Structure 1
């Protein structure tokens, strides 16, 4: 969890907040998509997280991908911006968030996949036909838009 969010939660508890986040759909040479299995709710998700104070959303996306997957991603392309009721999330610890999420795509990355075992317990490439059913709610929206963008 971001230091900013941690400090904010000390002040306001679990009540709903609006947070800005960024994530990246990482596509390998086979057209497969990298997803991470989250530690907090056991759902599959696009790597990403909350923007820290003073950080751009692109910097957030790059940092979060590296922290959660061990990969260094480059050449981000904006897929979409997601907000509103569909981005509401209540986490297992009771924290409530309405996310404003910038979703990017990239097929340029290097490094070795290694989940951080703090936010990610597993990272795996999935074919478009075999995406898991148990997806994080926001990422279901993002992945649907990605599939539309490539004509699937």
Structure 2
């Protein structure tokens, strides 16, 4: 949990807070998406996390990508914003958030994937055809629906 969010939780407990996040969907040269299996709900998702005070969202997205996967983003392309009731989430520990998440696509990255053990059980590249919505963490399912609307399930860019 980030420093800012951790401090807010000390004040409000499990009550709903607005959480601004920067996230990255990594797509390799074969059109596969890098997903991490979360340790909290055991579902899959992309790298991302809470913006710290005065941190640029792009810098947050790059930082989270590196922390969670060991990869360095060379370029980010804005994809979409995930917010509203579909992005509202109650974590398994009872913390409740109303997410405002800015998502980027990264096709140019370096490094070798390695999961951050505290947050990620496993990292794996999936073809779009292998990804089913029910395997994805609930608050980011709308992002995957949007991704497949825009790029289809047969992307190879």
| TM-score tier after normalising by the smaller chain length | over 0.9
Which segment drifts farther, 116-125 or 139-148? 139-148
Kept in 1: contact 2:44–2:135 (CA 8 A): yes
Secondary structure in 1 matching 2:117: coil
- Answer yes or no: is 1:111 the counterpart of 2:93: no
Q: Which has the higher strand share?
A: 2
CA distance in 2, matches of 1:108, 1:61: 14
TM-score (norm 1): 0.96
- Give deviations 1:36-73, integer Å, cap 9, x for gaps: 11111111011101101110110010000000000001
- Answer yes or no: is 1:134 the counterpart of 2:144: no
CA distance in 2, matches of 1:28, 1:86: 28
CA distance in 1, matches of 2:114, 2:67: 9
- Matched with 2:120 is 120
CA distance in 2, matches of 1:116, 1:81: 25
TM-aligned CA deviation for residue 141 of structure 1:
1.1
Secondary structure in 2 matching 1:112: coil
- Matched with 2:148 is 147
CA distance in 2, matches of 1:144, 1:25: 13
Kept in 1: contact 2:82–2:140 (CA 8 A): no
Across the aligned residues of Structure 1 and Structure 2, the Cα RMSD in angstroms comes to: 1.0
Secondary structure in 2 matching 1:75: strand
Unaligned runs of 5+ in 2: none
- Matched with 2:49 is 49
TM-aligned CA deviation for residue 139 of structure 1:
2.1
Number of positions where the alignment pairs a residue of Structure 1 with one of Structure 2: 152
Secondary structure in 2 matching 1:64: helix
Alignment of 1:1-150 (within 5 A): 1-132=1-132, 133-150=134-151
CA distance in 2, matches of 1:37, 1:43: 5
TM-aligned CA deviation for residue 74 of structure 1:
2.1
Secondary structure in 2 matching 1:62: helix
